[in-house]
Amino acid sequence: CSTATEDDAPNRYSRTDRTTYSRYSRDANSSGSSIPSNALEKRIEELERELAKERQENARLMKVTQDKEELIGKLKEEIDLLNR
């Protein structure tokens, strides 16, 4: 359940961010910015790819953490049984 939500996160943010960045890059260029808009767009796309990778890594680490917490819980139960 939580994995599906995490997988949707990059798509949900990318679309909004892309719209926002495009708007800002157009405004900057119309005011005489020395950075070409295609360079800004390439940088934005690069950052979006990095962000997607980081989100995937974060989701993977969260799953590893959950798995380890479950294992710790099971081991604690086993210790309790052995102590009785």
Distance CA(11)–CA(60), nearest Å, equals 17
Tokens of residue 69, six digits: 């917490």
44 in Cβ contact with 18 (< 8 Å): yes
Per-residue model confidence as pLDDT tens digits over 18-77 = 555 555 555 555 555 677 889 999 999 999 999 999 999 999 999 999 999 999 999 999
Which among 21, 27, 54 has a CA at the least distance from the CA of 40? 21
Give the pTM: 0.52
- All residues at 6 or more sequence positions from 63 whose CB lies less than 8 Å from its CB, including other chains: 3
